[in-house]
Amino acid sequence: MMGRNDNCFCGSGKKRKKCHSYISEDSYIESLYKLYHEIEIIKRDHQYPLEHPCKKGCHECCYDFFSITMLEFEAVLASLKRNGMNYTREIFNIALEYNAFLEKNDPELYNYFERDLTGNDFEEEFYFQRRLYNDRPARLSFPCPLINKESKSCSVYEDRPFICRTHGNTFNTSTNLYKNNSPTCEYIVDSRDNANYTPEVKDEFYTKMMELNKLVQGEMRSFLLQYPIFYWFKLYKDKNEKYNRDMYESLVPAYFYKKVDSLQPIDIR
């Protein structure tokens, strides 16, 4: 087991007590951060060509329509809260505006997010969801609510989700992007060719991510209950308001201190 005086698991070189001290040792959330760290090492050790377009400051893909898991959102939320409640509320309000915009402009998609999927046939739902998402353009007309409007940088960069760490600068042969050789973005039009210049993030990383989420959401539900970042904000607001809590409370605070293997699956809806 790691002590507070040992080097932090994130690889910063700092002591744990001066770095990720807020993350409990051997907890589920620590497992997520270890996974993030492994990805960062893969990228750090890869020799990218100088002209590779994925560079700090490039943020066009922050307009993409993509979903993240609940555990990743919990990490984002904790990161925001460390920047203060005013800031957290501000981001919540931006995200809620985007939800209102979507409700007006794409009610079919918005109403799908709002649906309670409890008890539904997993396979049927899964294919329905794929069709619904694949029918949509790859880009939204608004950016991720976590992008800083002035600097255009990510406000939770160190705690950003898995996909934000891997999109464009890594490849995985099982993704639709690779299989269909679809453009990754306006700068990377050939996803297969991009694989010649980027490191592979193997399936095991994706599997590990899902394993972690299975524990809070159950096996089937963890696949279905992935939402765009802006909608997670809405879901947290609704759920917390129902129980008279501030909109930004964690829905699974146990994640931050419970030891791996100690949590029973819970139902978030």
Taking the C-alpha atoms of residue 161 and residue 72, their distance in angstroms, rounded to an integer, is 6
The structure tokens listed for 3 are 């002590």
Q: Which of 41, 58, 100, 260 binds ligand SF4 (CB under 6 A)?
A: 58
Taking the C-alpha atoms of residue 231 and residue 210, their distance in angstroms, rounded to an integer, is 19
Half-sphere exposure of residue 222: CA atoms within 13 angstroms, side-chain side = 19
Q: Which of 2, 3, 10, 216 binds Zn ion (CB under 5 A)?
A: 10
Closest of 209, 91, 187, 109 to residue 148, by C-alpha: 91
Q: Which is nearer to Zn ion, 23 or 91 (CB)?
A: 23
How many residues interact with ligand SF4 (rule CB under 6 A)? 21
Taking the C-alpha atoms of residue 38 and residue 232, their distance in angstroms, rounded to an integer, is 25
Decide: is 8 part of the binding site for Zn ion (CB under 5 A): yes
Stretch that binds Zn ion, among 14-22, 49-57, 203-211, 243-251 (CB under 5 A): 14-22
x-or-dash string of contact with ligand SF4, 169-188, rule CB under 6 A:
---------------xx-xx
Decide: is 53 part of the binding site for ligand SF4 (CB under 6 A): yes
Taking the C-alpha atoms of residue 152 and residue 218, their distance in angstroms, rounded to an integer, is 36
- Indicate the SS3 state at residue 7: strand
Stretch that binds Zn ion, among 4-12, 52-60, 113-121, 235-243 (CB under 5 A): 4-12
Q: How far is CA 70 from CA 77, 107, 209, in A?
A: 10, 23, 11
Closest of 173, 269, 193, 175 to residue 225, by C-alpha: 269
Question: Considering the complex, what minimum distance in angstroms separates the CB of residue 56 from ligand SF4?
Answer: 9
Stretch that binds ligand SF4, among 54-62, 78-86, 215-223, 236-244 (CB under 6 A): 54-62
Which residues are near ligand SF4 by CB under 6 A?
53-54, 58, 60-62, 144, 146-147, 154, 156, 160-161, 164, 167-168, 184-185, 187-188, 229
